[in-house]
Amino acid sequence: MQIYSICGKLQYEPSLSLQRPFRSPHHSITATAMLGGGRNPLPGEISLAHQGVLFLDELPELKLAVLEGLREPLEERKITINRNLISVSYPCNFILVASMNPCPCGYYGTKQQCKCTQEQIRRYSRKISGPIIDRIDITVPIEYIGYDKLISSQKSETSEKIQKRVEKVRRIQKERYKDLKFQTNAELETKYIEQYCTLARKSQKILENAYQKLQLTTRAYMKILKVARTIADMDESQYIQEQHILEAISYRRKEE
């Protein structure tokens, strides 16, 4: 709320106190507008998304300075802007949701003909550097949905039902961390990982193998544990079982 007040946007956002923010800036956004800054440093989109969701469509289309500038705030959940002699810190604890095509034309791997060369495809996916991929907990390939499927009457799970499930898991986490400064698995500090992400013996072995085979970074290793903790919470399981750790590993994407 205070962040919006600084930006003078409060009068346009009447329901702010009730709703978490959802920000979806266009991929042509400048680094200053995304991260914050200016003569009198103002908060950027990442801070306007504080405690909510920052949705970035067409991720590789963002300017390199914007993409790389996201690294620190994703890690620190705050950003410090230095301008002349002024140094300002703004919070930016947001959930990053991003989408990208498999190739520049968007048809690679679908029934439609992709017109891109292998080199173009490689260059496109390489725009998302290793350190950025490393900071993304869950990546899911989404298949092309044909028109028949799109209009089919087959019922999928409703948003209300999914919301209930998320709320339940959030409650479990809030209760677990009630004596600590944070409330979610995502915010779990490294020093607490061993205490709260207890692995069943077989799960430990699976993770060890993945660490070596996939040449995971320490950060990726920790993130897998936190995601697995959340999957185990969905199962209301005290320990992280095999299926939880396997699912969490399957969500990792390696740099190509």
Q: What is the largest CA-CA distance in the chain?
A: 61
- Between 122 and 161, CB nearer to Zn ion: 122
| Interface mask toward Zn ion for 93-112; x: CB under 5 A | ----------x-x--x----
We find the least distance from the C-beta atom of residue 111 to Zn ion, in angstroms, to be 13
Q: Can residue 114 be called a binding residue for Zn ion (CB under 5 A)?
A: yes
We find the least distance from the C-beta atom of residue 127 to Zn ion, in angstroms, to be 15
Q: Can residue 116 be called a binding residue for Zn ion (CB under 5 A)?
A: yes
We find the least distance from the C-beta atom of residue 123 to Zn ion, in angstroms, to be 12
- Between 120 and 241, CB nearer to Zn ion: 120
- Between 116 and 136, CB nearer to Zn ion: 116
Whether 114 and 105 have beta carbons less than 8 Å apart is answered as: yes
CA distances (Å), 136 to each of 39, 144, 151, in order?
32, 22, 32
We find the least distance from the C-beta atom of residue 97 to Zn ion, in angstroms, to be 23
Select from 219, 189, 225, 188 the least CA-distant residue to 207.
225
- Between 54 and 116, CB nearer to Zn ion: 116
Site for Zn ion in 186-225 (CB under 5 A): none
Tally of CA atoms within 13 A in the half-sphere of 189 that contains its CB: 7
We find the least distance from the C-beta atom of residue 251 to Zn ion, in angstroms, to be 24
- Between 88 and 105, CB nearer to Zn ion: 105
State the alpha helices, DSSP H only, in 36-189. 45-48, 64-69, 71-76, 118-126, 130-134, 147-151, 159-176
We find the least distance from the C-beta atom of residue 58 to Zn ion, in angstroms, to be 14
Long-range contacts from 35-40, C-beta under 8 angstroms, 24+ separation: 35/66, 35/69, 35/70, 35/73, 35/79, 35/81, 36/79, 36/81, 36/88, 36/90, 37/81, 37/83, 38/83, 39/83, 40/86
- Between 57 and 242, CB nearer to Zn ion: 57
Binding stretches for Zn ion (CB under 5 A): 103, 105, 108, 114, 116
